[in-house]
Structure 1
Amino acid sequence: MTPEELSTALSACLADAVRAGEISVDVPETVRVERPKSREHGDWATNIALQLGKKAGMAPRAFAELIAARLTAYEGVASVEVAGPGFLNITLDAAAAGALAKAIVEAGTDYGTNAALAGHVVNMEFVSANPTGPLHIGHTRWAALGDSIARVLRASGAEVTSEYYINDAGSQMNVFANSVLSRLHGRGVPEGGYPGQYIVDLGHDVLSAHPGVRELTEDAALPIVRHAAYEAQMKDIRATLAAFDVSFDVYFSEKSLHDAGAIESAVARLREQGHVFDKDGAVWLRTTDFGDDKDRVLIRANGEPTYFAADAAYYLSKKDRGFAEKIYLLGADHHGYVNRLKAIAACAGDDPEANIEILIGQLVSVNGAKLSKRAGNIIELKDLIEWLGKDAVRYSLARFPADSPLTLDPELLKKNTNENPVFYVQYAHARSRGAARNAAAAGVERTVDGADAFDAALLDHSTEGELLAHLAAYPSIVAKAAEFREPHRVARHLETVASAYHSWYDNCRIAPQGEDEVTDLNRTRLWLNDATSQVLANGLGLLGVSAPERM
């Protein structure tokens, strides 16, 4: 019996009690069941009696006893205990619990997906590094977490568009172009310019695309260099993200806002909403009405738009593209952006508590990391991937909450031991695939003569009950990870599943010993083995980490 089936049974019990006149209450579509903290309290628990008892004019415990009597009659339910003020602790019989193994294998990659966020249309912006240099360690955390959050949101039914905002407008692009052009002519780094070998390398890229650029006047060469160097740097950024298994649905250009007149349009729309005013020759947005510490300038007195004006136009662009929910993932130095972005949402007529969400990530560092030889003063993401491996970096970043500072230990991440969390989980998957290969070699298959060979009641060992319990909890873990934007819940749960699997593997044989005959116990355990493989692979996939067949 899956958690969904148990939830349906509880809803049916409530409906039957209403029809019988025993209670009078609105029956919820779903009844939430959760794993109790201690296995001694059963396989599943629900607080539905605490939620509905008083609404029904009954003491929650009496309400719980009424539901318990009905639920006990359901096939697959071994016992139902009323605990405390009205909790229901539910124990399934071995067959009902074991049936989950077959259900997981049959569901395959869909196991763990849910519809908790169905109907939610989300735009999620993350990384958004300036196109003036390579991705570095400061972008690493959001690249890993942002992509994993997008994955768990999709797994929970949300329609998610991942977006990279390219800051390709403004003075930094001219500084960038001047830096490349200066190195193209063999000169040093201009004052305030970008240093690093990568600037020289970009110059070579520009020269390959435009061999005669050095013969042009600097005024003529600058726009050519700016565009060509920008294209080359964005190609490098995309390649680095691809190596990190991070992809974006949309790369949105800030310059496109300027070129399309979107900033002027945004100012006019916000003025119509009554939130724009003129002062000292400049155009302002009255963000203090919505919690900002001061009003913000949109258009300077010299007629130049501010970065804030571009932020406002960009927000309106997301709204116009149909994204009811907009998630921004920002770095630790962007706390000041929270109130001003929420104020933009409010000025645009949105609910800042519902239509915009801003997540702030803390800094990450790496013990013993060397500065990039190309960039000189940063730790490049591509160097980090080459040094530690994509899987180790992504998993390590995913297993901690975003708002906690984090220091990665390279020595630990390079160990092929159980101390290394990513190795521990990946090894569990590889071990399960090895067990399946050994079972096949011994003649153990999940089917006999084309029919499934599975007897759930045979999965009655204590380690099997423990493993099944953790496999059953996986969908709710995914749903919570999506709800709270916390993929570390998935990572930590995979470690629990891996631990339970290793314990089961050490106690329960899949393949028969020696010349022993293959039995339904062997076949049924193969189903459980393969179900564990599926959950580990599904979970690792949500974290952007591979599930190796061999290690």
Structure 2
Amino acid sequence: MTPADLSLTVLHAVRRAVDDGALRVDVPPTVKVERARPGGVGEYASNVALTLSRSAGRTALDIAGILEERLRDTPGLQAVDVTGPGFLNFTLRPDAGGELVRAVREAGDAYGSGTALAGVTVRFADLTESRALLVTETVVRLLRSQGADAGFAQGADVGFAQGADVGFAQGADAGFAQEAPANAPAQHEPAREETGQPARDATPQRIHVHPGPYEPRFLGVDAARWALLRAAPQDRPLDGPPLLVQHERNPLFRVRYAHSRVRRLLHNAAQLGFGPAYETPVHAPELLGVLGDHPVVLLTAARHRAPDRVARHLEATADALLAFQHTVLPLGDEKPSAAHRSRLALAEAAGTVLAGGLSVLGISAPERI
């Protein structure tokens, strides 16, 4: 990770903190990162927390703590320390990219699932409006993917799983045991009692949603779901017909096409006699960054009841993958090398994240487009 990569990583952490509502500041255009001074901690340091302190109305130490929480598991960073009045100090990890790729390959589509919300119980009111039901069911899957006990007030997963025109891409109740949704204010999460047992919120919750029709007969399941989930719940749904156009301006097509490109890269590599294996560092900070962000995005989406955050993250992942994919296969008379195997492994990890994210939204990840 170069200083430029690290600067971009810290900037992303600031942006996530603002998006999460943890900080209320204007996101700076850049973040300055310098070599740590002799006798200091780590290899690099940043005073970003001090520069944001006045506009945020909080101490630099508070801000540094918020950013440290969002940086501690970043690929490429071995340690993040807060020193002095609020300096962030960074120790780089020798082979963070390899660790990330291995983590994704080991977890598969479950990469990003966790237990951060274990002990939290959430019940949602039964619904009839199409978009409210779709958003809420997706949020339930996001919450469950993070360990929460989430469902509907009557204890049954109702609505889209049973409707004649509706249903998840994989059928009836697919994915509900493993997945959990996102997008609601923090106060909707039940607090723990002093005994350490999770408190149950007796009042069923509702997610405020701008209504919109679910139209799989006209758009197909994938476009119909994307139209309702990609926009923030309180915003108008997306216009459906443009989502059917196979063009790079169509974000749904771009995301699904990026996944299909990964499958084609793996197929073509096999024909050339090699497969994915992360053996040497790959310089792809943008792609590694979005893959490393995936678990945080799922957790944030669950906490804020915001499936649209997952969709936006999939767009960023697809864009980073499509910009990177041209480097994966050998060109001309070039022979497959450790570099090609490593790039292929990184591309495969990106495909896994795209497939897993689409699954959370109930959208298919095609092998070919």
TM bin (shorter chain): 0.5 to 0.7
Q: Which residue of 1 aligns with 2:205?
A: 357
Q: Which residue of 2 aligns with 1:511?
A: 329
With over 3 angstroms needed to count, the CA separation of the structure-2 counterparts of 1:77 and 1:352, relative to structure 1, is closer
Q: Which residue of 2 aligns with 1:455?
A: 279
Matches of 2:93 and 2:263 in 1, distance apart? 28
| Structure 1 residue 115 displacement after superposition | 1.1
Opposite residue 242 of structure 1, the aligned amino acid is: G
Structure-to-structure mapping, 1:264-303, within 5 angstroms:
none
Opposite residue 334 of structure 2, the aligned amino acid is: D
Which of 227, 234, 241 is the matching residue for 2:166? Answer: 241
With over 3 angstroms needed to count, the CA separation of the structure-2 counterparts of 1:126 and 1:99, relative to structure 1, is same
| Structure 1 residue 123 displacement after superposition | 2.7
Matched, 1:535 2:366: no
Q: Which residue of 1 aligns with 2:295?
A: 475
Which of 332, 338, 341 is the matching residue for 1:523? Answer: 341
With over 3 angstroms needed to count, the CA separation of the structure-2 counterparts of 1:442 and 1:93, relative to structure 1, is same
Opposite residue 314 of structure 2, the aligned amino acid is: L
| Structure 1 residue 113 displacement after superposition | 0.6
SS at match of 1:404: coil
Q: Which residue of 1 aligns with 2:254?
A: 424
With over 3 angstroms needed to count, the CA separation of the structure-2 counterparts of 1:34 and 1:86, relative to structure 1, is farther
Matches of 1:455 and 1:106 in 2, distance apart? 16
Q: Which residue of 2 aligns with 1:500?
A: 320
With over 3 angstroms needed to count, the CA separation of the structure-2 counterparts of 1:465 and 1:388, relative to structure 1, is same
| Structure 1 residue 45 displacement after superposition | 10
Q: Tell me, which stretches of 5 or more residues in structure 2 are unaligned?
A: 2-10, 16-28, 34-43, 51-58, 69-74, 175-181, 185-198
- Cα deviations across residues 251-295 of structure 1 (Å, max 9, x unaligned)? xxxxxxxxxxxxxxxxxxxxxxxxxxxxxxxxxxxxxxxxxxxxx
Opposite residue 238 of structure 1, the aligned amino acid is: G
Q: Which residue of 2 aligns with 1:35?
A: 13
Q: Which residue of 2 aligns with 1:296?
A: none
Opposite residue 88 of structure 1, the aligned amino acid is: L
Q: Which residue of 2 aligns with 1:398?
A: 229
With over 3 angstroms needed to count, the CA separation of the structure-2 counterparts of 1:478 and 1:516, relative to structure 1, is same
Q: Which residue of 1 aligns with 2:241?
A: 411
Q: Which residue of 2 aligns with 1:206?
A: none
SS at match of 1:363: coil
SS at match of 2:205: strand
Q: Which residue of 2 aligns with 1:151?
A: 141
Q: Tell me, which stretches of 5 or more residues in structure 1 are unaligned?
A: 2-32, 51-58, 69-74, 130-138, 167-233, 250-326, 330-350, 366-380, 447-452
| Structure 1 residue 521 displacement after superposition | 0.7
Opposite residue 240 of structure 1, the aligned amino acid is: D
With over 3 angstroms needed to count, the CA separation of the structure-2 counterparts of 1:163 and 1:425, relative to structure 1, is farther
Q: Contact 1:121 / 1:160 at 8 angstroms: preserved in 2?
A: yes
- Cα deviations across residues 333-366 of structure 1 (Å, max 9, x unaligned)? xxxxxxxxxxxxxxxxxx998854332211226x
Structure-to-structure mapping, 1:96-495, within 5 angstroms:
96-127=96-127, 129=128, 139-162=129-152, 238-242=163-167, 247=172, 356-364=204-212, 381=214, 384-406=215-237, 408-446=238-276, 453-457=277-281, 459-460=282-283, 464-495=284-315
Q: Contact 2:142 / 2:301 at 8 angstroms: preserved in 1?
A: yes
Q: Contact 2:122 / 2:150 at 8 angstroms: preserved in 1?
A: yes
Q: Contact 1:361 / 1:404 at 8 angstroms: preserved in 2?
A: yes
| Structure 1 residue 505 displacement after superposition | 1.5
With over 3 angstroms needed to count, the CA separation of the structure-2 counterparts of 1:487 and 1:45, relative to structure 1, is farther
| Structure 1 residue 243 displacement after superposition | 6.1
Opposite residue 13 of structure 2, the aligned amino acid is: R
Q: Which residue of 1 aligns with 2:187?
A: none
Opposite residue 123 of structure 1, the aligned amino acid is: R
With over 3 angstroms needed to count, the CA separation of the structure-2 counterparts of 1:116 and 1:39, relative to structure 1, is farther
> How many aligned positions are there?
297
With over 3 angstroms needed to count, the CA separation of the structure-2 counterparts of 1:534 and 1:503, relative to structure 1, is same
Opposite residue 102 of structure 2, the aligned amino acid is: K
Q: Contact 1:41 / 1:89 at 8 angstroms: preserved in 2?
A: no
Q: Contact 1:116 / 1:156 at 8 angstroms: preserved in 2?
A: yes
Matches of 2:355 and 2:30 in 1, distance apart? 25
Q: Contact 1:96 / 1:456 at 8 angstroms: preserved in 2?
A: no
SS at match of 1:240: coil
Matches of 1:497 and 1:236 in 2, distance apart? 29
- Cα deviations across residues 103-125 of structure 1 (Å, max 9, x unaligned)? 21122122101111101233334
TM-score under structure 2 normalisation? Answer: 0.67
SS at match of 1:364: coil
Matches of 2:226 and 2:360 in 1, distance apart? 10
Q: Which residue of 1 aligns with 2:7?
A: none
Matches of 1:454 and 1:480 in 2, distance apart? 29
Matches of 2:275 and 2:145 in 1, distance apart? 30
- Cα deviations across residues 469-488 of structure 1 (Å, max 9, x unaligned)? 11000100100001111111
With over 3 angstroms needed to count, the CA separation of the structure-2 counterparts of 1:364 and 1:235, relative to structure 1, is closer
Matches of 2:118 and 2:46 in 1, distance apart? 23
Matches of 2:139 and 2:323 in 1, distance apart? 30
Q: Contact 1:540 / 1:547 at 8 angstroms: preserved in 2?
A: yes
- Cα deviations across residues 198-245 of structure 1 (Å, max 9, x unaligned)? xxxxxxxxxxxxxxxxxxxxxxxxxxxxxxxxxxxx999633233666
TM-score under structure 1 normalisation? Answer: 0.47
Greater strand proportion: 1
Matches of 1:532 and 1:236 in 2, distance apart? 29
SS at match of 2:257: helix
